[in-house]
Structure 1
């Protein structure tokens, strides 16, 4: 998710950056490598350690991260449209993007139904345990909506494109409704319980993700649905600008609140910020919000959002550089991912144990 969104945003930066296409391409290649390895390990785990894989759904925290899997698929597919079309034939890259989008949409709808249902019926949690990470399994449909909006013109005739648009709006509705409810729970937890610990503080940044994807969806639809809505296009265009700017304001508020929590724990009054994989909350959500600003810039055509998008890209790169380097170091020294082989037999594969 993080590598993919940085790759796409760097490649399509509204301001010309030296070697932006080269950097974006390198990250795109790295993204495909990481995705292939992660998908292979995930498949091996289900084949050879299915009991452990099923136990993930019984755990109230681990189950959430199937949403990250769904979002990762959609980001890969979108990067084939943004970057892949400049590396291989346009038709091939577009077809890959469409196939991956369909797969990502299926997984997104799975997570948004199954994980909340398990939270309602199986998992035992207390009110003070409410975190913005509860958004992770419900955000994928809006990521699929935002990335799918870019693909609308590439789907057959007007009837198929209308069906695509209807599906995109429905997925937006699913996530946006759940986003409001979960955000209310998070707000209540912040008010009525003790402050977030340094370990949990990065989770607040997750709130920014669906906000950015909401902006991306409604800023892109007016530009990709001309043949569908005809005379109503101007209405959708105006609504897209008004809605996206309003959401941009909400996003700025969450960024300020989240940043204040981060700086609090970096100060003497805080507990510090111990590194863990949750630090990627500093990357993908900011990237999502930056993506929404890019889309709003394309729709509104105003230099204000061009400049805002570029500033956000610089902030994103600062966060990405820190988190990526620390993650790489943690993987290499074994503090994040450890390979554990017990009672090894030639026919067995190593078991992966994540210490996050």
Structure 2
């Protein structure tokens, strides 16, 4: 049974990137809706809404009760970027309110909230990282988690494109965010790959956030595809569409290149180096890129009128659902075992 001390421990140790669960659940829901599974998509939407509210409440409690620990996480370069998952999750939940459920007013509220969170967190994170007096060093600071900054940016761009209704100002804002996200990716991925290639990377250091190397590209593909699809046939952005199409295809091709390498590194980590398989909050950073690649490829196929690409999301939606289900079951099993052990310990006392 959950007691007060256990609950306090959960709040105190809440991971900065806990909203990756909302991101993963939301994008898998969108993928299911794209492939004619409305019941699955809607069930995941309502579950995601509950999870989102619950994590917001826990985050608020942590801010109120354990502000020093939360601040320490935020100014830690290796963990601070994880807080941007709340902005990305807010925008992805808003995307669900457009594509899965007909809740446009809620989607607009979430878009405004997501934009405010994105503005506050992305500038505070980079400012805190730049001005920190004590820095832990390059290899201890940089990891795939930094790319959540791109995921948050492109998630907001995608939501604005969906809500634009062809309105030029909204589409222009979406396009600017798309280009900003692309520029940030090229900057940050250079540091991430440099760290992976030229410094020793132990198997236990290859954590799930490195999957965001691909996930950030997949959400960039989604944002660019939606800008193309939502743009009217004539207007001030028309001349830019060929550029957006080519740039989006560039990012999708790069995302596709990452997938086999990431799978190889997972085999190296668990099969060759025998790092044990066990549930961590970071595991949702694997589910999200797989789901986002599925959704992004689906939209790209429509934006470029390339139906032969649809075979990828047709298979990917089942891979996404199975991966989400597997991580969820493993997580629930771990939670159950921990509660049983705590209950047994309390009984012996």
Please report the TM-score for the alignment, with normalisation by the length of structure 2.
0.83
Does the aligned pair in 2 maintain the 1:109–1:141 contact within 8 Å?
no
What does 1:90-239 align with in structure 2 at a 5 Å threshold?
93-122=103-132, 124-129=135-140, 130-153=142-165, 161-226=167-232, 229-230=234-235, 233=238, 235-239=239-243
Does the aligned pair in 1 maintain the 2:87–2:117 contact within 8 Å?
yes
Q: 37, 51, 62: which is aligned to 2:54?
A: 37
C-alpha deviations, 1:9-60, integer Å up to 9, x for none?
A: 10112xx4xxx11111111110111111111222222234434433332333
C-alpha deviations, 1:257-303, integer Å up to 9, x for none?
A: 11110011232345344431111121112222222111112212322
Compared CA separation, residues 44 and 190, structure 1 to 2 (3 A): closer
Q: 300, 303, 306: which is aligned to 1:299?
A: 303
Structure 1 residue 8 and structure 2 residue 26: aligned? no
Compared CA separation, residues 317 and 22, structure 1 to 2 (3 A): same
Task: Give the C-alpha shift of residue 319 in structure 1.
Answer: 1.8
Task: Give the C-alpha shift of residue 231 in structure 1.
Answer: 7.6
Task: Give the C-alpha shift of residue 137 in structure 1.
Answer: 3.4
Does the aligned pair in 1 maintain the 2:231–2:237 contact within 8 Å?
no
Matched residues in 1 for 2:264 and 2:297: separation? 22
C-alpha deviations, 1:81-104, integer Å up to 9, x for none?
A: 11111xxxxxxx101101101101
> Whose relative contact order is higher, 1 or 2, with alpha carbons under 8 Å and at least 6 apart?
2
Compared CA separation, residues 211 and 138, structure 1 to 2 (3 A): closer
Matched residues in 1 for 2:70 and 2:219: separation? 29
C-alpha deviations, 1:129-163, integer Å up to 9, x for none?
A: 3211121234311110012211111xxxx8xx322
Corresponding position of 1:23: 40
Matched residues in 2 for 1:114 and 1:231: separation? 34
Matched residues in 2 for 1:94 and 1:302: separation? 29
Does the aligned pair in 1 maintain the 2:225–2:303 contact within 8 Å?
yes
Matched residues in 2 for 1:98 and 1:219: separation? 20
Does the aligned pair in 2 maintain the 1:218–1:240 contact within 8 Å?
yes
Matched residues in 2 for 1:121 and 1:36: separation? 33
Corresponding position of 1:350: none
Does the aligned pair in 2 maintain the 1:56–1:63 contact within 8 Å?
yes
Please report the TM-score for the alignment, with normalisation by the length of structure 1.
0.82
SS in 1 for 2:204: coil
Q: 252, 256, 268: which is aligned to 2:260?
A: 256
Task: Give the C-alpha shift of residue 251 in structure 1.
Answer: 0.4
Corresponding position of 2:4: none
Q: List alignment gaps of at least 5 residues for structure 2.
A: 1-22, 343-349
Please report the RMSD computed on the Cα atoms of aligned residues, expressed in angstroms: 2.2
